[in-house]
């Protein structure tokens, strides 16, 4: 394990670290005014479905995913209407672009995300800070999802850095543990203010 002063790359998760995710908005598929039961059921049905895993690992494309979702929920949404709803769950997390920019140029920056092409294309167009990540590691492109150790090793390679010299930041403890198992240092993200203090404590940015 590298000492903190040996960190050469900082790798970020995307959802709930750089952008916030409101999965409750997925319930707009089934009702304009969904109940909590509707929201919970839709989240379980969509996010827990094998089709979702196939979409996130590039085994099915956007059009096939759209067809599967409208069949599942008996919808009449066109592909464009579906894509608008599907991508309408994101919002910026205030303070994160500034933290990323403070690291930019001093460390290799990496991005590691379980995501799909619709979400990625939308987020890349609407969040200029993502231009800071030159070689993102995306599940739909490499056919792996977290916390598979191989996806963390791929992220390290894309950051041109050995795993032991990488710091990985994720909101899910299981993913932070997966990064540690792959040889990285890791931080569980609890908000921009907490992350800022942890980066200061590690000597990666100044107060």
Domain locations in the chain?
A: 4-20+92-201, 23-86
Which pLDDT value is given to residue 23?
Answer: 83
Residues near 201 by Cβ (< 8 Å), separated by ≥ 6? none
User: Which overall architecture, per CATH, does domain 4-20+92-201 show?
Assistant: 3-Layer(aba) Sandwich (3.40)
Task: For 116-145, write each residue's pLDDT tens digit.
Answer: 999 999 999 999 999 999 999 999 999 999
Which pLDDT value is given to residue 2?
Answer: 45
Q: What is the pTM of this model?
A: 0.93
Report the percentage of the chain scoring pLDDT > 70. 95
Mean of all residue pLDDT scores within the chain: 93
Task: For 16-64, write each residue's pLDDT tens digit.
Answer: 999 999 988 877 776 666 677 777 777 778 878 899 999 999 999 999 9
Which pLDDT value is given to residue 33?
Answer: 66
Question: Based on the number of CB atoms within 10 Å of its own CB, is 29 exposed (0-12), middle (13-18) or buried (19 or more)?
Answer: buried
Residue 82 has pLDDT above 60, yes or no: yes
CB 1 within 8 Å of CB 164: yes
The more confident residue out of 82 and 5 is: 82
Which pLDDT value is given to residue 75?
Answer: 86
Which pLDDT value is given to residue 61?
Answer: 98
Give the mean model confidence (pLDDT) for residues 89-106. 97
């Amino acid at each position: 394990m590298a000492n903190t002063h040996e960190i050469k790359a900082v790798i970020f998760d995307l959802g709930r670290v750089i952008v916030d995710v409101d999965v409750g908005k997925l319930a707009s598929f089934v009702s304009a005014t969904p109940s909590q039961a509707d929201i919970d059921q839709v989240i379980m049905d969509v996010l827990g479905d094998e089709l979702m895993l196939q979409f996130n690992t590039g085994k099915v494309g956007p059009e096939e995913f759209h067809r599967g979702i409208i069949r599942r929920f008996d919808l009449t949404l066109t592909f464009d209407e579906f894509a608008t709803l599907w991508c309408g769950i994101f919002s910026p997390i205030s303070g994160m672009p500034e933290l990323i920019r403070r690291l930019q140029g001093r460390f290799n920056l990496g991005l590691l995300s379980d995501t799909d092409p619709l979400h990625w294309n939308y987020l890349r167009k609407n969040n200029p800070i993502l231009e800071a990540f030159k070689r993102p590691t995306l599940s739909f492109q490499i056919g792996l999802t977290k916390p598979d150790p191989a996806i963390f090793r791929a992220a390290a390679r894309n950051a041109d850095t050995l795993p032991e010299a990488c710091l990985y930041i994720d909101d899910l403890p299981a993913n932070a543990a997966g990064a540690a198992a792959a040889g990285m240092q890791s931080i569980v993200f609890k908000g921009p203010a907490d992350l800022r203090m942890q980066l200061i404590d590690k000597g990666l940015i100044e107060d």
